Amino acid sequence: MKTETCLEIQAYVDGELDASRRATVEHLCATDPEARQLSEGLAALRSAVRAHEPEFQVPETREFYWSQIQRRMSAASAAAPVTVAGSAWTQWMRWLVPLAGAAAVVSLLTLPSREGQATATLASMSPTPAYAAPASSIIYRSDTDGVTVHWIN
């Protein structure tokens, strides 16, 4: 079975198809046992997984967990669930702080380093900016084999 057909059947099971594509898949499942089996298998798996979501409990007491959140809420300077009109200085700071941060980052990336290594390291860690949305990929590396694989999605 072709990839497209498998994905179309899956989209059918997930309720993602419009009426005409739905009818096409229904016809396929009615005539092709392999397609029907895949559709039924996917539906069974879907409902089994949805009905058995793994459960976890916070491994700390309610009081301790809340106290940690409270501490972080206090530390967060901009904790403001109610919108309060700030002073002119506050309004300016809202823009100035991110701008100053951005300037600091730019300076770090562009200042020449003595060895020329720090700059190269920082620059090579950031994604290549010159291209508009290239395909995403997952990178695998084996030092022993001397192989890097970029599996493109």
Partner 1 sequence: MNKRPSSASMPTSLKRDYVPSADDVLVGWAQQGDTEAFEQLVFRHRDKIYARAMLMMRNEEEALDLSQEAWVKSWQRLHQFQGDSSFATWMTRIVINLCLDQIRRQKKTRSESIEQLEEDAGGVERQMPVEIINPTEGLEKTELRSRIDEAMSKLTDAHRAVLIMHEFDGLQYKEIADRIGISIGTVMSRLFYARRRLASLLQSLRRERTE
Partner 2 sequence: MRPLTGWPVLVYRCLLATLLLPAAVLAEEFKVEARLVWGTNQPKPAGKPFTALDDPSRDKVRQFKWTNYWVVNTVISPVPRGKPQLVNLSSKCAIDVIDLGNGNVEIRLFELKEGAEPKLVKPVQHSRKALKNGEYCILAGDDKKVWDDAWFVILTGGR
> Can you point out the beta strands (E) in the chain?
137-142, 147-152
Does position 106 bind partner 1 by CB under 8 A?
no
Angle at 145 between CA 152 and CA 120, to 5 degrees: 65
Q: Is residue 21 within 8 Å of 4, Cβ to Cβ?
A: no
Q: Is 33 in the site for partner 1 (CB under 8 A)?
A: no
Type and span of the H or E element at 98: helix 88-110
Tokens linked to 60: 């700390």
Rule CB under 8 A: say whether 114 interacts with partner 2.
Answer: no
In angstroms, what is the minimal distance from the CB of 135 to partner 1? 9
Count of CA atoms in the C-beta half-sphere (13 A) of 150: 5
- Can you tell me which of 41, 86, 98, 134 binds partner 2, judged by CB under 8 A? 134
Among 61, 124, 126, 144, binds partner 2 (CB under 8 A): 124
Q: Which of 18, 31, 33, 73 binds partner 1 (CB under 8 A)?
A: 73
85 lies in the binding site for partner 1 (CB under 8 A): no
Is 146 among the residues that bind partner 1 (CB under 8 A)? no
CA–CA separation, 84 and 90 (whole Å): 11
φ and ψ of 66, to 5 deg: -65, -40
Which CB sits closer to partner 2, 77 or 136? 136
Q: Does residue 6 belong to the site contacting partner 2 (CB under 8 A)?
A: yes
CA angle centred on 138, ends 132 and 142, rounded to 5°:
135
Work out which of 42, 118, 119, 122 binds partner 1, going by CB under 8 A: 42
Nearest distance from residue 84's CB to partner 1, in Å?
7
Residues that bind partner 2 (CB under 8 A): 1-3, 6, 120, 124, 128, 131, 134-135, 137, 145-153
